[in-house]
Amino acid sequence: MPTELVTAHAPEGSTPPGPERPEDRAAGLRRARVWRRRRSKLWTYTGLIAGSVIVLFPVYVLVVDSLLQPLQLLSDPPAFVPTHPAFHNFSDAIAQYGFGHDLINSAVQTGIIVSAQLVTSVLAAYAFVFLRFPLRRSLFLVVLGTIMIPFEITVAANQTTIVDLHWEGTFLGLTAPFLATGFGIFLMRQAFMQIPRELREAAVIDGYGPMRFLWRIAIPLARPVIAALAVFSFLGAWNQYLWPAIQANYNPGLKTATIGIASLAQSSATVGTYLAASIMSLAPLVLLLILFRKNLIRSLTAGAVK
Amino acid sequence: MTTASGPGRVAEVAPTTVAKPRRKSRRFSKSKEMGLAYLLLLPALAVFGVFTFFPFVENFNLAAHMKGPYPTSPNPYVGTSHFFQVIKSSIFLDSLRSTAIFVAIAVPLGLFLGLALAVFANQKLRGSAFFQVVFSSTTITSVAVAAVVFETILDPRSGLMQWLGVHTAPGIQLSPGWALYAIAGISAWQFMGFSFIIMIAGLQSLPEEVIEAARMDGASSFRVFWRVIVPLMSPTIFFGGVVGTIVALQSFGAIDIIIGNTNTTFTRTNVLINYIYDLIVYDRQFGTAACVAIALFLITLLVTVAQFRVLERRVHYAN
């Protein structure tokens, strides 16, 4: 403890020695506080800038290198600014390597998964919150149980199922395992439970049936959480890797953007080309982050903070 | 005038509604309710049944049968012996070791960076909103994008690492000494965004007076961080640790893209998921893949339970 008192005074080395008058002391403490605040501000900015470098340096490399001419990549010292921006890297990725097709595949796959997950989650959560039926509690535990079984460990058996169903290398096979999500049901259940009971009682008195209540009241009220789930499942579906990689082995025409980037990186394409492809695949996600950051954060922090 | 007419109208209408004794139940009708409930649950439960629970059970079935040498040859029942044979093999044990190293680097590093940046970005300073967007952004990058960008940076001929004085020759695919660590670092970079988002949400729910009081008492920022913020944040750190570990145990994309399928054993990057993928895609050894998947499930379960038992005792819940 005494050491702390000393350090608190330490910056005030300039105060004249000798018997301290109370006013001097108060002024000194105030100055110490201002000094400390300024110093901590400096530290904070140092930390913020260091963090930004860690995050943005790869992004900078991504953008600059996607615009470099093939030979500029090998220059010494390295090219830090694209002096002759090679925009053709973008068109090459699409025209020569069919990356546009991969992007369309990703859009279809993500569209199917997001809309199906929204529908199945909203319907199931609605049943759990507003309807009464036998086995309600146990079925909800079953849903929570799916969260405990990571998809990755079911991959081997799922692949045999898909082959047995002759769905391999089709959009059905690509998306079928992800049409429902335990996390989504959980998230929607939390949202529906926020709806006051009186509202449903009033709706019943007004002659609303359960489906009309769902469409007219429950869904509109839960809209922010539905948006949060949509953003979350968009992100998850668009960035999937393991399952699309397995499916693309059966049908290369089914490559999604992530698999397309991976195969470009392993092909004869130039670095600039596959970095350009990476930027194109990131674009919708950047847009998503800018437009729906609040919703995304809401779904990511569900369960993190009490 | 208008305010007077409001209550007056209600008074007129009220008697007629009260007069009717018809007091309907305040719930939806019961017989319809049950059928509807099952109908609404059906789509989700069907998907879970076919693609989560059935394969979970089927894994054990696949694991218990040895695959014959030809596609048409019978798959004899071998019980648990196959499973034990697989988990005692040196390739499995090496894979387990790589996975442990990978998780032990990626998760704590990502958690620490996320928390530190959240503490910085949570202060009311000019530009902190901008930094919050930047720091949460790594969570949106796909593993493919992160992998190709870092591969470019690490390239032994043209990568910027050489310019920074770090020599990566002969390249990551030929460097068993550091390939695994580099890929764990890339995963930490990606995980940092998620970690930052939950940490800053956690920080914003902390009682500000406590931290302010510690500052007033003259504690240094370093001391405030380790002695006040970290203990108060322990529930969030704990949650991040559990989620991060589960995610890290399943991450595989960066390894597949950067290293490829041929030399994961050589570069010591053959983590369990990579092993499972190679068994399915290249060897078509579904039985062995199922054995490794069961082992991975048991490990995930064990780690999660252990984290709950050990860490939760040390977690400080405010209320």
- List of domains in chain B: 37-79 (no CATH), 89-314 (1.10.3720.10)
Which CATH superfamily is A92-300 part of? MetI-like (1.10.3720.10)
| Distance separating alpha carbons of residues B42 and B226, to the nearest angstrom | 49
| Distance separating alpha carbons of residues B267 and A211, to the nearest angstrom | 57
Segment B93-144, tens digit of pLDDT = 999 999 999 999 999 999 999 999 999 998 888 888 889 889 999 989 888 8
| Over residues B151-170, mean pLDDT | 82
Under a CB-based contact definition with an 8 Å cutoff, are residues B180 and B193 in contact? no
How many other β-carbons are positioned within 10 Å of the β-carbon of residue B38? 15
Q: Is A123 exposed, middle or buried (0-12, 13-18, 19+ CB in 10 A)?
A: buried
Touching check for B293 and chain A: CB below 8 Å?
yes
CA of B5, closest CA in chain A: separation in Å?
24
For chain A, the domains span 2-56, 92-300
Residues of A within 8 A of B30 (CB-CB) are: 132
Question: Which residues, including other chains, have CB under 8 Å from residue A80's CB and lie 6 or more apart?
Answer: A64
* CA torsion, ordered A163, A167, A172, A173, to nearest 10 deg: 20
Yes or no, beta carbons of A124 and B40 under 8 Å apart: yes
Peptide bond into A77 cis (omega under 30): yes
Yes or no, beta carbons of B252 and A242 under 8 Å apart: yes
Segment B26-45, tens digit of pLDDT = 667 677 788 999 999 999 99
Touching check for B244 and chain A: CB below 8 Å?
no
Token reading at B46? 């069907």
CA dist B285 to A163, A287, B175, Å?
A: 14, 41, 28
Residues of A within 8 A of B153 (CB-CB) are: 58, 61
Q: Which residue of B has its CA nearest to A126?
A: B40
Among B52-56, B112-116, B140-144, B280-284, the least confident range = B280-284
Average pLDDT across chain B, whole number = 82
3-class state of residue B65 by DSSP: strand
Report whether pLDDT(A264) > 80: yes
Report whether pLDDT(A173) > 70: yes
Which of A58, A54, A53, A56 minimizes the C-alpha distance to A278? A58
* CA torsion, ordered A44, A46, A49, A50, to nearest 10 deg: -110
pLDDT: which is higher, A208 or B7 = A208
Half-sphere exposure of A48 (CA within 13 A, CB side): 22
Q: Is B283 exposed, middle or buried (0-12, 13-18, 19+ CB in 10 A)?
A: exposed
What is the number of CB-based contacts under 8 A between chain A and chain B?
A: 326
Phi, psi of B77 (to 5 degrees): -75, 125
pLDDT: which is higher, B264 or B93 = B93
What pLDDT is recorded for position B221?
76
Under a CB-based contact definition with an 8 Å cutoff, are residues B112 and B188 in contact? no
Yes or no, beta carbons of A157 and B62 under 8 Å apart: yes
pTM: 0.82
Facing B202 at nearest CB: one of A45, A78, A305 = A305
Under a CB-based contact definition with an 8 Å cutoff, are residues A121 and A187 in contact? yes
Yes or no, beta carbons of A48 and B143 under 8 Å apart: no
Specify the residue for token string 């597949």: B256
| Distance separating alpha carbons of residues A5 and A288, to the nearest angstrom | 50
B72 pLDDT band, cuts 50/70/90, is low
Touching check for B71 and chain A: CB below 8 Å?
no
3-class state of residue B6 by DSSP: helix
Yes or no, beta carbons of B146 and A177 under 8 Å apart: no
What pLDDT is recorded for position A303?
59
Residues of A within 8 A of B219 (CB-CB) are: 4
Alpha helix ranges (H) inside A67-154: 88-95, 99-130, 136-148
Q: Is B201 exposed, middle or buried (0-12, 13-18, 19+ CB in 10 A)?
A: middle
Strands (DSSP E) contained in B80-156 are none
Asked whether this complex has an ipTM greater than 0.85, the answer is no
Report whether pLDDT(A18) > 60: no
CA of B289, closest CA in chain A: separation in Å?
6
CA of A191, closest CA in chain B: separation in Å?
17
Facing B281 at nearest CB: one of A179, A246, A304 = A246
- What are the b/e assignments for B70-89, b being 16+ CB within 10 Å? eeeeeeeeeeeebbeebeee
Q: Let me know how long chain A is.
A: 306
What pLDDT is recorded for position A181?
94
